[in-house]
Amino acid sequence: SQELEQSPQSLIVQEGKNLTINCTSSKTLYGLYWYKQKYGEGLIFLMMLQKGGEEKSHEKITAKLDEKKQQSSLHITASQPSHAGIYLCGADGGFGYFGNEKLTFGTGTRLTIIP
Amino acid sequence: DAGVTQSPTHLIKTRGQQVTLRCSPKSGHDTVSWYQQALGQGPQFIFQYYEEEERQRGNFPDRFSGHQFPNYSSELNVNALLLGDSALYLCASSLRGLAGLTGELFFGEGSRLTVL
């Protein structure tokens, strides 16, 4: 079965600083989702990556999938208090382009922003 | 346009009881998946419903069952509750087989179940 490891497990960053969260898979990634979760609440969709070398950005958040499709990174530029929360990566269990929408998640990275 | 909605938001049960959680998918979506998220862990896949049938199942016992209705909404039922069933239960919706193309795999706010 596929396993995802996220690092670091927790991160404390001063407001305005940049940061990176990593997600490493034990198998090839065919669809990699990034979500943000406020403590005890639902998951907010950030981005989905599928192609090796793909990079997507939304506001100050950029996610990349490496060429070998076994690692993804999430980079936040000029962090703000609104970025605080838990970031989760989820891998689609399918093997094709369209996937099977059965996600395996990492344990998450807890991000704290210090004013 | 409403996203994925779940009810109830919080509930408390005692061991041995049964619980039913409900989910309405995002408009235009036809597939509903359920996840269990224990405290401090990532969500774990329970099962997925499409065309009113269970299509995929994770490693959960038969005490966990579900249903999908013709309007695509879904229920998760858990029988003979155990203390370990205490968790946040999340519902996700998508358009069958196309999440990889559209990136649309959206979650609701979850139902927080506490078993005493």
Summarised one tens digit per residue, pLDDT across range A32-62 is: 999 999 987 899 999 999 888 999 998 999 9
| C-beta atoms surrounding A98 within 10 Å | 17
- Residue B21: predicted pLDDT: 98
Q: Tell me which chain B residue has its CA closest to the CA of residue A106.
A: B42
Output phi, psi for B46, to 5 deg: -95, -65
Which of A6, A48, A9 has the alpha carbon at shortest distance from A24?
A: A6
Which of A102, A91, A110, A32 has the alpha carbon at shortest distance from B96?
A: A102
Interface test with chain B among A39, A41, A101, A102, by most B beta carbons within 10 Å: A101
pLDDT tier at A30, thresholds 50, 70, 90 = confident
**Strand pairing report for A55-58 and B44-50:** unpaired
Closest approach of A55 to chain B, Cα-based (Å): 14
Q: Do B100 and A107 make contact, defined as CB atoms within 8 angstroms?
A: no
| C-beta atoms surrounding A55 within 10 Å | 13
Mean pLDDT of B76-87: 98
Q: Do A31 and B99 make contact, defined as CB atoms within 8 angstroms?
A: yes
Nearest to A101 among B4, B40, B94 (CB): B94
Partners of A4 on chain B (C-beta within 8 Å) are 42
- Residue B95: predicted pLDDT: 85
Rounded distance, CA A87 to CA A75, Å? 11
Is pLDDT of B99 > 70?
Answer: no
Nearest to B97 among A33, A43, A98 (CB): A98
Q: Is B3 on the interface with A (CB under 8 A)?
A: no
Asked if residues A69 and A29 have their Cβ atoms less than 8 Å apart, the reply is: yes
- Residue A98: predicted pLDDT: 61
Q: Tell me which chain A residue has its CA closest to the CA of residue B58.
A: A102
- Residue A92: predicted pLDDT: 86
B96 or A11, which is more confident? A11
Partners of B33 on chain A (C-beta within 8 Å) are 101-103
Mean pLDDT of B97-112: 81
Question: What are the Cα distances from residue A103, in Å, to A93, B35, B84?
Answer: 6, 9, 22
- Residue A96: predicted pLDDT: 60
Rounded distance, CA A85 to CA B12, Å? 26
- The CA-based angle B83-B113-B60, given to 5 degrees, is 65
- Residue B101: predicted pLDDT: 65
Q: Do A105 and B43 make contact, defined as CB atoms within 8 angstroms?
A: yes
Q: Count how many Cα atoms sit within 13 Å of the Cα of residue B105 in the half-sphere of its side chain.
A: 30
